[in-house]
């Protein structure tokens, strides 16, 4: 799957457009996902292109539960942490956390928490 995301400040002073690919493969109870991408971000007159990545591996514990680990990063820092997912292909929730490893840019968070909700169409 290929997709685009737009992020911006409410006052429209900064903008970012991300182009990403989602590549997945299932091996029995294991599910591997890679999410490489590039982000074009900036403000008027100053734009920067930055590569980023995310890769994760989960293990299906039952019909509705997956446990796993994810690594992600960019030039701002690199992170790794656990994830837990609950649901089916039609509706799911994922919770994850990641701590900074190696180099983390000044001002970037040392710890990230996220929650995702997915609805299959």
pLDDT tens for each residue of 37-67: 998 887 767 788 889 999 999 999 999 999 9
Residue that has been written with the tokens 């710890």 in this structure: 111
> Is the distance from CB of 53 to CB of 79 less than 8 angstroms?
no
| pLDDT bucket at 6, cuts 50 / 70 / 90 | confident
pLDDT of 69 reads 97
| pLDDT bucket at 105, cuts 50 / 70 / 90 | confident
> Is the distance from CB of 7 to CB of 14 less than 8 angstroms?
no
């Amino acid at each position: 799957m290929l997709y685009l995301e737009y992020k911006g400040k409410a006052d429209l002073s900064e903008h970012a457009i991300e182009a990403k690919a989602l590549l997945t493969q299932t091996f029995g109870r294991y599910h591997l996902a890679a999410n490489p991408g590039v982000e074009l971000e900036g403000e008027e007159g100053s734009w920067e292109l930055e590569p980023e990545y995310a890769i994760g591996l989960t293990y299906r514990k039952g019909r509705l539960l997956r446990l796993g680990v994810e690594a992600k990063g960019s030039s701002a820092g690199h992170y790794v942490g656990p994830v837990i997912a609950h649901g089916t292909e039609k509706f799911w929730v994922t919770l994850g956390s990641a701590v900074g490893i190696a180099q983390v840019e000044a001002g970037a968070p040392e710890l990230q928490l996220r929650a995702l909700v997915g609805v299959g169409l």
